[in-house]
Amino acid sequence: MTTVPDPSLPLPRFPRDFVWGVSTSAAQIEGAVGEDGRGRSAWDVFAAEGRRIKDGSDPRVATDHYHRYREDVALLGELGVGAYRFSVAWPRVAPDGSGAVNGAGLDFYDRLVDELLAAGVAPIPTLFHWDTPQALEEGGGWLVRETAERFAAYAEVVAGRLGDRVERWITLNEPAELTLLGYGLGQHAPGRQLLFEALPAAHHQLLGHGLAVQALRAQGARNIGIANSHGPTWPASAAEADTAAADLYDLLLNRLFAEPVLLGRYPDEELAGLLPGPVAEDLEIISQPLDWYGINYYQPTLVGAPAAEGSGPTAFGGIQLPPELPFAPREIPGYPRTDFGWPVVPEALTELLVSFRERYGDRLPPVVITENGCAYEGIEDGERIAFLDGHLRALHAAMDAGVDVRGYFVWSLLDNFEWAEGYARRFGLVHVDYETLRRTPKASYRWLRDALREQARG
């Protein structure tokens, strides 16, 4: 474990055109569920089932960003970031996922984009951040090809309304997590427990990404990326069983989602044979050239061979893992942990980025860190300051090693609805009182504001 840097010391200098931003998602902050024509999402239904969300909450109000967006944009302006990555709620724009467009929903994003531009903050919409319209979910969701086609049509509608003011676009957020947690293990919406039979959801999300890139290009977009989650996979030991388990985990969580986009192929022929076709033709669409590649980084994963047969399910990161999985994530000792229990390993970000450059070479476009953050309680959140400081230094080290990184986005602007955790985990630079919805900037907000001012002086 490396020595933790002193966050009171100035950060290293980043390029003047480096993009600094923060990220959020519609399902986690907007609220206003059912208002102004918004349809139901898979997460609305999942949360309403009871026992699904650990604190028994739901996203119906969340942080009420739908009504308080001007206040939140003012916080962005004061923070001094150059860009804001938000997501467009698919069911707010197309309540049934296809067909009739909800003009009131598009009007909201019109207002948000105008407010951001007036504050000097570039809007960067993510078109899909897990809130599948429930009508599509009931028809099979991402397990069926039609959802990818409906997603492209929705992307065209959004770009047609906002494209005159939006320069950068993101298609999907973290298809790996939706595949694994939503369709594979049932811990997230839509709550399916298909294990490896969830793989069609991976392929159809990637196909939806490629079709959306085509739709955005047709609308004149010239700056498009994706936000994939990645992290180094460390074998639990040098034993063959552990290294093989780690390789499989890395394939499923990293390479399965990076290589179709970057290389136009799946990393394993046997795996590709499990996916719905026509795979070869789809890969030509999936691998549409991108202007940059977004990486969401939180932690590395230590992986070993599964426990002995008959030992029952195991828990990892609060998630129950079925015993039939051919790998077993394990806790990483020797590092500080966030309130979520995640290890804080900034140097693993350097490792990840350098490994991507070595693995993909000139097929890797410029990289943007589209999410990086941590869950801690409290407003005087020194741990979050140390986390951000350490990760920014690790990011700079990767750039010194030759990785072309163009931007960094903190997750998240606001405390929010943290999916199956409900409101129990606070990732925000700004504290939200969930009773009054009052926003209070944390110490980490002030630290980042001052750091960005110092960068601007350079």
Apex CA 183: angle with CA 231 and CA 355, to 5°? 15
Give 190's Cβ-side CA count (13 Å radius): 20
What does the alpha-carbon distance between residue 302 and residue 235 come to, in Å, rounded to a whole number?
6
pLDDT, tens digit, for every residue of 118-162?
999 999 999 999 999 999 999 999 999 999 999 999 999 999 999
Can you give the pTM of this predicted structure? 0.97
- What pLDDT is recorded for position 8? 78
Q: Judge whether 455 is annotated as a binding position.
A: no
pLDDT at 2 over 90: no
Question: Sign of dihedral through CA atoms 333, 336, 340, 345?
Answer: negative
Burial of 240 (0-12, 13-18, 19+ CB in 10 A): exposed
Cα angle for residues 343, 347, 353 (degrees, 5° grid): 115
174 in active site: yes
**In residues, how long is the chain?**
458
From the candidate CATH numbers 3.30.1330.60, 3.30.300.30, 3.40.30.20, 3.20.20.80, the one assigned to the domain spanning 19-457: 3.20.20.80
71 is in an annotated binding site: no
Helix and strand tally (H, E) in the chain? 16, 15
Consult the annotation and say whether 134 binds a ligand: no
Residue pLDDT, tens place only, 303-337:
999 986 544 556 677 677 888 899 999 999 999 99
Q: Where are the domains of the chain?
A: 19-457
Q: Which two tokens stand for residue 203?
A: 């392929």
**pLDDT tens for each residue of 45-54:** 999 998 999 9
129 is in an annotated binding site: yes
Give per-residue burial for 278-304: e unless 16+ CB within 10 Å, then b. Answer: ebeebbebbbbebbbbbbbbbbbbbbb
Annotated binding-site residue? 69: no
pLDDT in tens, 200-221: 999 999 999 999 999 999 999 9
Q: How confident is the model at residue 9 (pLDDT cuts 50, 70, 90)?
A: confident
Q: Which of 30, 115, 137, 174 is catalytic?
A: 174
371 assigned to active site: yes
Closest CA to 228 of 57, 374, 368, 24: 368
What is residue 309's predicted lDDT score, i.e. its pLDDT? 57
Cα(364)–Cα(404) distance, integer angstroms: 9
Q: Is 173 annotated as a binding residue?
A: yes
pLDDT at 91: 98
Q: Which CA distances in Å does 114 have to 60, 63, 80, 125, 163?
A: 25, 21, 17, 13, 12
Per-residue exposure over 155-173, b if at least 16 CB sit within 10 Å of its own CB, e if not: bbbbbebbeeebebbbbbb
Check residues 392 and 307 and name the one with the higher pLDDT: 392
Say if residue 330 is exposed, middle or buried (CB neighbours under 10 Å; 0-12, 13-18, 19+): middle
Q: Helix or strand or coil: residue 316?
A: strand
